[in-house]
Chain A
């Protein structure tokens, strides 16, 4: 199939994910590639490399496919990557496009056997007459080689577009969610999955709500949450019923009558949901805010942070150019004290839950020379304007930070800005406190 895309479009990063130790960072892009970065160990020999991330492995995860039955092209864009907890020397991750999930195993080879009896160094068979004695091949060190192989392909589980995958804390199962259904898979079984949520109405004309994101609870293997386009969260217990259509808890905030508009529903649509590391809270992102929910309180979030409230008066224009449908992700830091999310103009925002302070930072080449300190940015809405302020009208809405990730333990963040990846480290406080 001929590609109508410009060369650089395939490099647009579509997902970013640290593994459980933070040693590895995986990115997926629109061209179906996965690039894994590895953190260099801090060593006295190379003090300037100070635990920075370098490319570890690159591989093609998904290829464009053509569904002949529906006459549709299936995009190879990687929607989500999730790492499996490491159980041996190898690393494993799940990557998914709109329709198919794949399990990849990443192994290292840093030794190779030498001294074969029947083969020479190049692998050619030896002339047997020259073999006078037998030797035991020995393992000799070699340059590190990273090998990636597909171990499982989980196909044909989804009619609609997969938006989330989440590995269960039992390390044996995982779930995948599309617009209308959520399936449970066993990591070792590819030819069947178990449908646990189905919100497809009997009559598609009655469709008013879709699933937008879902995640397993980090500790309770029976609990998971899924969010909807109407802004609600449903916490489900797999022990209660095989088909989790009845939620255990429904988290929904009543609409603020003073902020009502034609776009209320669109901006309330939840684009991402993440459990806190503690498992006590959930973080959601809708178009204008991030919200922290307590699992014990369904009526409303316990905290709401404005990401870019200056856009509230621009909703009509943002509806016109479809920006209002952008799906931003959100992230917790390791101690659940700071939350982060992206915005426009390559800005991203961080909110400290304890001090209630927030900061706006920019991911761009101009403002991020290596080892430069990031300068807080400000968007001015009219009135007094300081020197480096950006006015709302000059924000670049094509530069969106949709995907961000936070190291599980340290103050290291990964920011995807279109086709560039930025990794920021806080050297002053590199340990969580």
Chain B
């Protein structure tokens, strides 16, 4: 084959060497929350994942069993989901694929057998679980609300089109496939992060964010606590301003607008 290049600008696109930025990876791992319970499940089979963490040169590797790497993968996916939601107009395909992947990871982390009830769990993992759970729930709630808002806004902006045969508005989706809102990160029905024996862990968490109709399935596992727990103040992924904003969107006092942030 003979070639003739037709340069348009003559400036090649700036490219990296192709190596993945190690700073990103280290940041992921250092921000990851330790989940001591996972380390006890070494005998549990996990889905085959690629083994980049087994690179002996990698500082965080050590003798990490796949279960711990799944935790990093989970954190990475949650971060991706959060980043995707932050976009002014989320890429729907990217969002759906990340959510579905997150669900797979979450399902693989679910205990296959009921864990022995721990009457008084140590404080550190309890707090860590609270933080992770509250941030995940907030993310899921914000994602569900964002997508709902997308569909409401669509009704306003779409030009009226006379369609010969439009499906009825309440057309059943068919099947009971679990959806985005049913990530159920806290739901005891899927037994993901919780077991009945751990309900007590969340008694003191502030669940006012979860007590909306969008979050009906999960709220059965949570009880509004008598006092605010540490989960409210220390959510690592969302700060208070963002939580307030999301709350306002949920209760409809504020129309969805471009979230603050640099760039588009």
Q: Please give the residue numbers on chain A whose beta carbons come within 8 Å of chain B beta carbons, in ascending order.
A: 4, 6-8, 11-13, 29, 35, 37, 52-53, 67, 69-73, 155-157, 159-161, 179-180, 192-195, 198, 200-210, 212, 229, 241-243, 245, 259-263, 265-266, 269, 312-317, 319-322, 325, 344-345, 361, 363, 365, 368-374, 393-399, 411, 418-427
Contact = CB atoms under 8 A, between A and B. Distances in A.
Contacts of A193: 161
A69 B156 contact: yes
Contacts of A6: 14
22 contacts: A35-B8, A52-B4, A71-B257, A155-B159, A156-B158, A161-B91, A200-B151, A205-B180, A205-B181, A205-B182, A212-B93, A262-B70, A262-B104, A262-B108, A320-B28, A363-B5, A374-B2, A398-B16, A399-B15, A420-B6, A425-B2, A427-B2
Quick one: which of B5, B7, B73, B161 has the most chain A CB within 10 A?
Answer: B5
B147 A70 contact: no
Contact of B100 (A265, A315, A422): A265
Interface string B13-31: 1111111110011001000
Quick one: which of B19, B70, B100, B180 has the most chain A CB within 10 A?
Answer: B100
B177 interface: yes
Interface stretch (B46-54, B119-127, B227-235): B46-54
Interface in B102-149: 104-105, 108, 144, 147-148
A224 to B, nearest CB: 17
Nearest to A33: B8
A203 B181 contact: yes
B25 A159 contact: no
Given A72-B258, A399-B15, A421 B167 contact: no
Quick one: which of A67, A157, A319 has the most chain B CB within 10 A?
Answer: A319
Contact of A72 (B5, B51, B89, B167): B89
Nearest to A192: B161
A123 B166 CA distance: 55
Prevailing SS type, chain A contact patch: loop
A70 B14 CA distance: 33
B101 A71 contact: no
A67 B157 contact: yes
Contact of A424 (B3, B9, B16, B97): B3
Interface stretch (B32-40, B168-176, B185-193, B240-248): B168-176
Contacts of A29: 8
